[in-house]
Homo-oligomer: A and B are copies of this chain.
Amino acid sequence: MTQQDVTRRFPTVGDGSGLFSEDSFSREEVQLALRNRGMPLEALRYAITPAGMHYLLVHFDIPFVEVQDWSLSVGGLVSRPLSLSLDEIRARPARTLAVTMECAGNGRALLSPRSISQPWLLEAVSTAEWTGTPLKPLLEEAGMQDAATEILFTGLDQGVQGEEVQYYQRSLSIADATRDEVLLAYEMNGRPLEPQHGYPLRLIVPGWYGMTSVKWLDGIEAIDHHFDGYQMDQTYRYSQSADDPGQPVERILVRSLMIPPGIPDFLTRGRLVEAGNLVLTGRAWAGPLEISRVEFSEDGGESWSQTQLGAPVSAFAWREWTFQWDARPGRYTLFVRATDSQGNTQPVEQPWNYQGMGNNMVQRVEVLVE
């Protein structure tokens, strides 16, 4: 099937603008929310998220891969094309790195109007220890040619998006692809990848939003032009309208989250907290940058207090913050906000963009203290 074949095969959701203004959600959004999974915010207590609680965004279906039939091809503008089995990749030098990964669309459903897509609220972030082999030496071994300007990564996951039949594909500049921390990962938290996380092999690009870390890797290709595929030029853009090409979404922006204190109401997820002194805690991260400060507010952002920071889990992972809060009876909207080493602070009101990308507005936690 070709691209033209699939034009207009699937019904348009909503009024065709690609946006919803309602506080209600479409069946398509719920369908995606049931397939893709957030990390319940109480899992912020773990420095390394248990694998089964790691957030997950899968564009198409989870491919079924039998490892004996699988190999990774490294080709394009290289002098020595490679085809590697998983055993051959595992025999190469290994590195383990804790990485905080976040979906570029995290927070999308807090915008109004919002893009019709996976309706993340705040939960599309997690940290795992990925083990794999660095990409750069592999590209060197293949003899990347001088003409190459980008590396194209192709996954085995296939589907229709934006009316194009496609395998999931993303590219990186040579400079970004050859950074030391970029891995071809075959283990997550010390165990082989589960199917949904990219078995047998996935790319890990620390510091970047998750769309870059292509799962179920099939091929790596050196190319001499800008790859203009759907997942590069049509989506994952900071844009102001359907027609605005905007800017590409790349590195993770500064953010902090809090473990909602007390106990939840099943349906509304509102929180009931016993009055008294309690330790509030959570995590903060800023992609490749350091966190320099995390502040807490109990009065909806009128006044802010410094929290205590723990050590970062790695150079590419979150760090813990804690705050001793004197919870007096009443209703509160708790805020937490982080500032990165370049002085960027999370906004209280989110600047809007059409696709709902890179939202890092401060979290609001409604609590009733009694």
A52 and B161 contacting across the interface, CB-CB below 8 Å: no
User: For residue A177, which residues in chain B have a CB less than 8 angstroms away from its CB?
Assistant: none
Stretch of A85-93, A118-126, A207-215, A282-290 on the interface side: A118-126
A40 and B1 contacting across the interface, CB-CB below 8 Å: no
- Verify if A13 is at the interface (C-beta below 8 Å from B): yes
Q: How far is the CB of A317 from chain B (nearest CB, A)?
A: 19
A195 and B161 contacting across the interface, CB-CB below 8 Å: no
Number of A residues, CB within 8 Å of B: 67
Chain A 227-255 interface 0/1 with B at a Cβ cutoff of 8 Å (1 = within)? 00000000000000000000000000000
- Nearest-neighbor residue (CB-CB) of A18 within chain B: B267
B31 and A30 contacting across the interface, CB-CB below 8 Å: no
Q: Which of B38, B40, B61, B370 contacts A40 (CB 8 A)?
A: B61
B40 and A29 contacting across the interface, CB-CB below 8 Å: no
A263 and B33 contacting across the interface, CB-CB below 8 Å: no
A40 and B196 contacting across the interface, CB-CB below 8 Å: yes
Q: Which of A33, A60, A158, A266 has the most CB of B within 10 A?
A: A266
Q: How far is the CB of A147 from chain B (nearest CB, A)?
A: 33
Stretch of A42-50, A292-300, A308-316, A355-363 on the interface side: A42-50
- Nearest-neighbor residue (CB-CB) of A158 within chain B: B263
B59 and A40 contacting across the interface, CB-CB below 8 Å: no
- Verify if A34 is at the interface (C-beta below 8 Å from B): yes
- Nearest-neighbor residue (CB-CB) of A22 within chain B: B24
- Nearest-neighbor residue (CB-CB) of A235 within chain B: B266
User: For residue A50, which residues in chain B have a CB less than 8 angstroms away from its CB?
Assistant: 194-196
Q: Known: A30-B109, A34-B37. Is A45-B25 also a contact (CB below 8 A)? A: no
Bound form: Cα–Cα A53–B272 in Å: 31
- Verify if A6 is at the interface (C-beta below 8 Å from B): yes
Q: Known: A50-B195, A51-B194, A264-B160. Is A272-B165 also a contact (CB below 8 A)? A: yes
Q: Known: A34-B123, A43-B62, A267-B10. Is A52-B159 also a contact (CB below 8 A)? A: no
Residues of chain A touching chain B, judged by Cβ–Cβ distance below 8 Å, are 1, 5-6, 9-11, 13, 22-35, 37-38, 40, 42-43, 45, 50-54, 58-62, 64, 109, 116-117, 119-121, 123, 158-161, 165, 194-197, 260, 263-270, 272, 274, 368, 370
> Can you list 16 A-B contacts (CB < 8 A)?
A5-B370, A9-B265, A9-B272, A9-B368, A24-B24, A34-B119, A34-B120, A34-B123, A35-B123, A40-B196, A42-B64, A52-B54, A59-B266, A159-B263, A160-B272, A161-B267
